[in-house]
Amino acid sequence: MRLPLLALLARGPAHGYELKQDLEQLLGSAYPQPNVGQIYVTLGRLEKSGLIEGEEVEQSSRPNKKIYHLTDAGREALRAWFEEPEDEPRVRDEFFMKLALAPQTGLADQIALINKQRRRYLNTMRNLSKLAAAEDRDNRIAHLLIEGAMLHLQADLDWLERCQEELEELE
Amino acid sequence: MSESPTPLLRAEGLVKTHHGEGAPARAVRGVDLSVVRGEFVAVTGPSGAGKSTLLHLLGGLQRPDSGSLWLDGERTDAYTEARWAVERRKRIGIVFQFFNLVSNLSVADNVELPALLAGVTPRQARAEREELLSELGLAGKERSLPGELSGGEQQRVALARALVNHPPLLLADEPAGSLDSKGTREVMRLLSRFHQRGQTIVLVTHDARLASAADRVISFFDGRIVDDAELDGTPPRRTGISGVLELKD
């Protein structure tokens, strides 16, 4: 959450609630929405580490609000974020460990493990399809997020299929 | 599974072996399957697992070496080719990966033909065709030849043709197999829509995205059913969907 908030502040100063709304609008309903408390906590931490600065603004009929802006250090942190490519997803996979170790334990069957995992993925896939159908057609970013998740799941399902092919042959 | 209503489709002990060059390929090795009215069942598995052969058996396009098949409670073992052809016009609609449209007939004629063959009046065939094509977003394409349409459009014509006689059962064999991802989404949306209106569908696909539109997914490996799962669509706890979509801290 830290860097997305910094990125939103790179445009110009904003207060916490504005940032929440911007994030929601950008990512659509697909992305699990951060609650406003989470955002305020993160902003507090960013301020403490000197990446943003807050300024109290008086409001006539409401409590003061704090408007944040990016510091030079914050801008630098953001630049470094964009600079670095991200880790590959799923380099460590707990399911793989279960599959590899199951036969030695006598406690679980590999094919049963695969079937259980597949059901889980298929249910998630179904939910993603529903989300995609419900999401505003024009929100491209939100659709790309959902599509990315679906393609990852598809790859995982393909891999489960490969596992099953290999392991069924051994039976 | 409870068998209280007569299943629309029931198979017992289906076996089919292909004898080509080389060793005989045991495509379907003893399949029991029951599909009730209104169900949307996807059969998934790797290519070569025998899923298409299974679908062909269910639609009478191929005959099993052994085993039996019931359509709406009626045993089909003694059906002749001609009888199956009638069933495929009236009770079973089929869409294929490569559409199988008649290339020198217009879109309108492709859709109307099975209705006319089923004995519907030309006027009614036209009315059905108009309704389906507009429903499928193909109004204005009636006079086109299939070759003038995109893959996605051709598949929609094929869907209209399959549904023109309101068959209780729709069989779909890799319907998005030759489509791009936009075409795939379109097919998925349409199958879901017809299913919501009560259409019973059996879909064969290797595409998990497409399969997830179904409410029951059968995993098919090496000629056998290895898993048969109802998708309930309830998000599991914290992981599942939100975990998949979560951007990292």
Beta carbons within 10 angstroms of residue B9's beta carbon: 25
Domain boundary among A25, A49, A83: A83
Buried b (16+ CB within 10 A) or exposed e, A39-53: bbebbeebbeeebbb
Cβ burial of A136 (10 Å; 0-12, 13-18, 19+) is exposed
Q: What is the pLDDT of residue B243?
A: 59
Q: What region, left, alpha or beta, does residue B164 occupy, with left being phi > 0 and alpha being psi -120 to 50 degrees?
A: alpha
| Total beta-carbon pairs less than 8 A apart between chain A and chain B | 91
Examine residue A89 and state whether it is found in any structural domain, yes or no.
no
Q: Mean pLDDT across the stretch A136-157?
A: 89
Q: Is B49 helix (H, G, I), strand (E, B) or coil?
A: coil
ipTM of this predicted complex? 0.78
Domain boundary among A58, A83, A108: A83
Domain boundary among A83, A118, A145: A83
Q: Is A66 helix (H, G, I), strand (E, B) or coil?
A: strand
Q: Residue A171: is its pLDDT beyond 60?
A: no
Q: Find the closest chain B residue to A2 by CA distance.
A: B249
Examine residue A112 and state whether it is found in any structural domain, yes or no.
yes
Residue A132 and residue A64 share a domain: no
Residue A56 and residue A115 share a domain: no
Helix (H) or strand (E) holding B211: helix B208-211
State the pLDDT confidence band at A28, using cuts at 50, 70 and 90.
confident
| Residue B180 touches chain A, beta carbons under 8 Å | no
Name the residue type at position B25.
A
Residue A77 and residue A12 share a domain: yes
Q: What CA–CA distance (Å, rounded) separates A125 from A137?
A: 19
* Mean pLDDT score across all residues of chain A: 89
Examine residue A30 and state whether it is found in any structural domain, yes or no.
yes
Beta carbons within 10 angstroms of residue A33's beta carbon: 14
Beta carbons within 10 angstroms of residue B91's beta carbon: 17
Q: What is the pLDDT of residue A75?
A: 96
- Digitized pLDDT (tens) for each residue of chain B, 249 residues in all: 555 689 999 999 999 999 888 888 889 999 999 999 999 999 999 888 899 999 999 999 999 999 999 999 999 999 999 999 999 999 999 999 999 999 999 999 999 999 999 999 999 999 999 999 999 999 999 999 999 999 999 999 999 999 999 999 999 999 999 888 888 888 988 999 999 999 999 999 998 889 999 999 999 998 999 999 998 865 544 444 555 665 544
The range of the structural domain enclosing residue A164 comes to 94-170
Examine residue A8 and state whether it is found in any structural domain, yes or no.
yes
Helix (H) or strand (E) holding B224: strand B224-230
Residue A166 and residue A106 share a domain: yes
Number of domains, chain A: 2
Examine residue A115 and state whether it is found in any structural domain, yes or no.
yes
Quote the distance between the C-alpha of residue A169 and its chain's center.
Answer: 37
Q: Are A33 and A24 in contact (CB under 8 A)?
A: yes
Lowest-pLDDT range of A154-158, A165-169, B76-80: A165-169
Q: What is the pLDDT of residue A139?
A: 87
- A1 vs A7, A21, A57, B148, CA distance in Å? 10, 14, 24, 49
Q: Mean pLDDT across the stretch A46-63?
A: 90
Among B41, B205, B219, B244, most A C-beta atoms within 10 A, so best to mutate, is B244
Residue A141 and residue A110 share a domain: yes
Q: What is the pLDDT of residue A165?
A: 86
Q: Residue A70: is its pLDDT beyond 90?
A: yes
Name the residue type at position B124.
Q
Distance from CA of B122 to the nearest CA of A (A): 37
Query: Cβ B229–A115 below 8 Å, yes or no?
Result: yes
Residue A154 and residue A104 share a domain: yes
Residue A42 and residue A61 share a domain: yes
Residues of chain A with C-beta less than 8 angstroms from the C-beta of B227: 115, 118-119
Which residues contact residue B160 at a Cβ distance below 8 angstroms, ignoring those fewer than 6 apart?
B111, B129, B132, B133, B136, B138
Residue A148 and residue A118 share a domain: yes
Q: What is the pLDDT of residue B46?
A: 86
Residue A17 and residue A73 share a domain: yes
Q: Find the closest chain A residue to B214 by CA distance.
A: A126
Query: Cβ B249–A2 below 8 Å, yes or no?
Result: yes
Q: What CA–CA distance (Å, rounded) separates B202 from A146?
A: 26
Residue A99 and residue A79 share a domain: no
Residue A112 and residue A56 share a domain: no
Which residues contact residue B83 at a Cβ distance below 8 angstroms, ignoring those fewer than 6 apart?
none
Residue A156 and residue A98 share a domain: yes
Examine residue A88 and state whether it is found in any structural domain, yes or no.
no
Q: What CATH number corresponds to the domain at position A50?
A: 1.10.10.10
State the pLDDT confidence band at A27, using cuts at 50, 70 and 90.
confident
Examine residue A67 and state whether it is found in any structural domain, yes or no.
yes
Q: What is the pLDDT of residue B205?
A: 94
